Amino acid sequence: MIERELTVTNQLGLHARASAKLVQLLSGYGCNVTLVAKGREVNAKSIMGVMLLAAGRGTRVLLRVEGQDEQACSDAVAALFERNFDES
């Protein structure tokens, strides 16, 4: 299991488009992925779950990944956060 702390730094936060990008990215991995923020824990592969986190800009999020491809998966998620979800 890998745990990693990430910060939402993109302008709009984990809104619909960013959530969709995250879920689309995760669909390529077999591991279980959980996001924890503001005392709530959600399945990161669930678009509803991610949107219900309502993680605005500046929110700190704990990423928890468990499974065979956990290293690659957590790196990919961290990179997506760092790239601000490719918002221009």
The dihedral through the CA atoms of 14, 16, 48, 27 has a sign that is negative
How many CB atoms are located within 10 Å of the residue 88 CB? 4
Q: Which of 15, 19, 25, 29 is catalytic?
A: 15
Q: Which is nearer to other proteins, 49 or 66 (CB)?
A: 49
Report the nearest approach of other proteins to the CB of residue 64 (Å): 16
Contacting residues toward other proteins, per CB under 8 A: 11-12, 15-17, 20, 23-24, 42-43, 45-49, 51-52, 54, 56, 79, 83, 86-88
